[in-house]
């Protein structure tokens, strides 16, 4: 609905939706009440008319069909509360007499049952009559009992108007209740806004306020995001401190050698300086690579199947003599909660490692099971001695992608997976070849 803008105001949206709904429901209830009231009133009148016709028939039987027995003053008018007309043979009786012009013609009607007349002349413009015929000692007997519906309709309209008044009052109370409920419900949003302002001003470190159950996941995610930002800030500071400490000493040594005027730079000294500079370059590259690892982030996701196909195509060109296969039941557009660069680091390193040592083929498997999001790469190479599996990708291993040997780049994989609270498993397949398995939690916490 274009006239409802959910991004503008929750309060306005609730009022736009709830108020017309309340008015429509109250109006529908009022219309239904009128219809039910009309139906119940007519049903009540019909039942009364049948009962009074039966009463008059019983009195005629007791009087042996004598119409004069009904002419006993105001008795029947007080008992029946309805107008009636009775004809037995050629004799007839109408009570009260003001109904004669309306009921006498009904005595001559041929049909029986209920007869409705509207628009009649005189004071009585709308009435309902019940006509019944029977034989009494060989003579036709007719009884007609009628009710003035105009007076009943006036009573119904008065009751319906009072119902409308009460409904309007109830609607006003309902609107007030809706308004109060909306304000009370959104009060937690105001508290959350105030807490965020205090957080921005440094007056609090976390959102530890009480919120409704619907907002608790949001507060939890915000606190996790703050924890993640703090952890990244700490890692960045530690990385800068480590980098400064690591390169300060070799840079000082190189500078001292270069500033020494009396000492000539022979070939051995040049090689030492080159090695020192290579070490500094390697440390810089390592720390820069580590700083690019994003870790779990809100709103970030990667398409593992598409990225895997691109990497397999590239590695197929790099190792043309080897086959790279992908096994997965996931669609190309399926996404995982992992940053694209991090997923590329994981896939690229384990596939490059497998491609270097494979004899002829590499198989990459992507799946989701009860353990989480699983990446598995296996090759048909010579494998790794069992006692060396535990040392692959160990902390402190040099992250040099140009070095030969199993475990190449696997330390990078461990670093990236650790940021997502996952795990890396290196083992051997049934054929004895090397296999790397990465398991990420299905719901990665920030």
pLDDT in tens, 352-401: 888 888 989 999 999 998 888 899 999 988 888 877 777 776 644 443 44
Strand order in the sheet with 372-379: 323-328, 361-369, 372-379, 434-440, 423-428
- Longest Cα separation, the chain: 157
Together in a domain, 347 and 385: yes
Q: Is residue 312 part of a domain?
A: yes
Among 13-22, 105-114, 199-208, the range of highest mean pLDDT: 105-114
Pairing of strands 434-440, 423-428: antiparallel
HSE, CB side, 13 Å, CA atoms: give it for residue 223: 14
State the pTM of this model. 0.45
User: Which residues share a beta bridge with 133?
Assistant: 142
Distance set, CA 188 to CA 95, 192, 195, 222 (Å): 73, 6, 10, 16
310 and 394 part of one domain: yes
**Residues composing the chain:** 446
Q: What is the pLDDT of residue 407?
A: 47
The tens digit of pLDDT for each residue in 423-432 reads 998 888 878 8
| Per-residue confidence band for 292, with pLDDT thresholds at 50, 70 and 90 | low
Mean pLDDT of 208-218: 75
Instruction: Domain of residue 430: give its range.
Output: 304-440
The residue from 99, 130, 153 where one domain ends is 153
Token reading at 385: 């001695």
Q: Examine the fold and report which residue of 93, 121, 153 is the final residue of a domain before the chain moves on.
A: 153
- State the CB neighbour count (10 A cutoff) for residue 381: 22
Q: How do residues 264-290 score in pLDDT, each as one tens digit?
A: 767 777 776 776 677 666 666 656 655
Question: Do 75 and 49 fall within a single domain?
Answer: yes
Average pLDDT over residues 70-95: 71
Residue 326 is assigned to a structural domain of this protein: yes
* 342/330 Cα distance (integer angstroms): 20
Q: How confident is the prediction for the chain on average, in pLDDT?
A: 77
My answer on whether 262 and 372 are in the same domain is no
DSSP 435: E
Question: Are residues 284 and 315 located together in one domain of the fold?
Answer: no
Same domain, 19 and 149: yes
When comparing pLDDT for 421 and 238, which is higher?
421
Q: Residue 242's pLDDT is what?
A: 61
Regarding whether 421 and 308 lie in a shared domain, the answer is yes
Last residue of a domain, one of 121, 153, 185: 153
Q: How far is CA 74 from the centre of its chain?
A: 72
pLDDT confidence of residue 445: 46
Is 209 contained in some domain? no
Yes or no: say if 175 and 22 are a contact pair by the CB < 8 Å rule.
yes
How do residues 401-410 score in pLDDT, each as one tens digit? 444 444 447 8
Question: Who's near 352: CB < 8 A, 6+ residues apart?
Answer: 315, 401, 408, 409
Do residues 328 and 431 share a domain? yes
Q: How far apart are CA 61 and CA 160, in angstroms?
A: 42
For 235-254, what is the mean pLDDT?
Answer: 66
One domain for residues 404 and 315: yes
Strongest mean pLDDT among 147-151, 226-230, 276-280, 340-344: 340-344
CATH code, 427: 3.30.565.10
Within-domain flag for 228: no
For residue 50 the two structure tokens come to 């049948």
Q: Rg for the chain (alpha carbons), in Å?
A: 48
- Whether 282 is in a domain gets the answer yes
Predicted pLDDT at 327: 93
The DSSP bridge partners found for residue 153 are none
Centre a 10 Å sphere on the Cβ of residue 407 and count the other Cβ atoms it contains: 20
- Asked if residue 39 has pLDDT above 50, the reply is yes
pLDDT (average), residues 185-198: 78
Tokens of 16: 């736009």
Nearest of 325, 170, 175, 299 to residue 225 by alpha carbon: 299
Q: Are 295 and 337 in contact (CB under 8 A)?
A: no
Q: Is the pLDDT of residue 217 over 90?
A: no
Residues 61, 148 within the same domain: yes
> Mind listing the pLDDT tens digit for each residue in 118-166?
755 566 777 888 888 888 777 888 888 888 877 777 777 787 788 888 8
CA pair distance 54, 272, nearest whole angstrom: 128
pLDDT of 8 strictly over 70: no
Sheet with 113-118: strands ordered across: 91-95, 83-88, 139-148, 126-136, 113-118
* CATH number for the domain that contains residue 19: 3.30.450
Same domain, 311 and 287: no
Tell me phi and psi for residue 148, to 5 degrees. Answer: -80, 105
Residues 326 and 394 in one domain: yes
Query: How many independent structural domains does the chain possess?
Result: 3
Tokens matching residue 89: 């043979």
3-state secondary structure of 95: strand
Residue 321 lies in a domain: yes
In the predicted structure, residue 184 carries a pLDDT above the cut 60: yes
pLDDT at 318: 85
**133: Cβ contacts below 8 Å, ≥ 6 apart:** 112, 140, 141, 142, 143
Please give the Cα distance from 337 to 445 (Å, whole number). Answer: 9
Q: Is 427 contained in some domain? A: yes
- Considering the domain boundaries, does residue 147 fall inside one? yes
């Amino acid at each position: 609905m274009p006239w409802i803008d959910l991004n503008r105001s929750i309060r306005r949206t609730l009022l736009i939706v709830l108020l017309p709904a309340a008015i429509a429901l109250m109006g529908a209830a009022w219309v239904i009440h009128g219809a039910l009231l009309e139906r119940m009133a007519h049903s009540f009148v019909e039942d009364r008319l049948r009962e009074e016709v039966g009463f008059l028939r019983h009195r005629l039987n007791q009087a042996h069909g004598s119409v004069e027995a009904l002419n006993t003053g105001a008795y029947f008018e007080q008992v029946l509360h309805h107008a009636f007309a009775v004809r037995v043979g050629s004799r007839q009786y109408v009570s009260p007499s003001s109904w004669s012009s309306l009921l006498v013609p009904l005595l001559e009607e041929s049909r029986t049952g209920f007869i409705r007349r509207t628009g009649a002349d005189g004071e009585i413009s709308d009435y309902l009559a019940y006509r019944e015929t029977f034989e009494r000692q060989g003579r036709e007997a007719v009884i007609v009992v009628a009710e003035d519906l105009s007076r009943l309709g006036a009573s119904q309209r008065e009751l319906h108007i009072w119902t409308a008044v009460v409904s309007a009052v109830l609607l006003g109370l309902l609107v007030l209740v809706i308004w109060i409920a909306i304000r009370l419900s959104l009060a937690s949003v105001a508290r959350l806004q105030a807490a965020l302002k205090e957080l921005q001003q440094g007056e609090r470190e976390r959102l530890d306020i009480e919120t409704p159950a619907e907002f608790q996941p949001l507060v939890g995610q915000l606190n996790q995001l703050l924890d993640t930002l703090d952890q990244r800030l700490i890692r960045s500071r530690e990385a800068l401190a480590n980098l400064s400490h690591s390169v300060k000493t070799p840079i000082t040594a190189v500078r001292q050698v270069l500033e020494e005027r009396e000492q000539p730079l022979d070939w051995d000294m040049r090689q030492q300086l080159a090695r020192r500079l290579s070490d500094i370059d390697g440390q810089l590259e390592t720390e820069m690579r580590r700083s690019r690892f994003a870790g779990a982030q809100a709103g970030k996701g990667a398409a593992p199947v598409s990225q895997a196909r691109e990497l397999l195509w590239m590695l197929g060109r790099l190792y043309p003599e080897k086959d790279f296969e992908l096994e997965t039941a996931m669609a190309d557009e399926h996404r995982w909660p992992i940053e694209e660069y991090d997923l590329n680091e994981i896939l690229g390193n384990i596939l490059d490692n497998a491609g270097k040592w494979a004899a002829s083929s590499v198989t990459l498997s992507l799946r989701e099971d009860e353990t989480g999001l699983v990446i598995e790469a296996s090759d048909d190479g010579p494998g790794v001695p069992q006692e060396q599996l535990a040392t692959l990708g160990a902390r402190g291993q040099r992250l040099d992608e140009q070095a030969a040997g199993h475990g190449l780049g696997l330390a990078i994989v461990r670093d990236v997976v650790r940021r997502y609270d996952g795990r890396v498993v290196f083992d051997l397949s049934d054929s004895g070849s090397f296999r790397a398995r990465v398991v990420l939690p299905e719901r990665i916490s920030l």
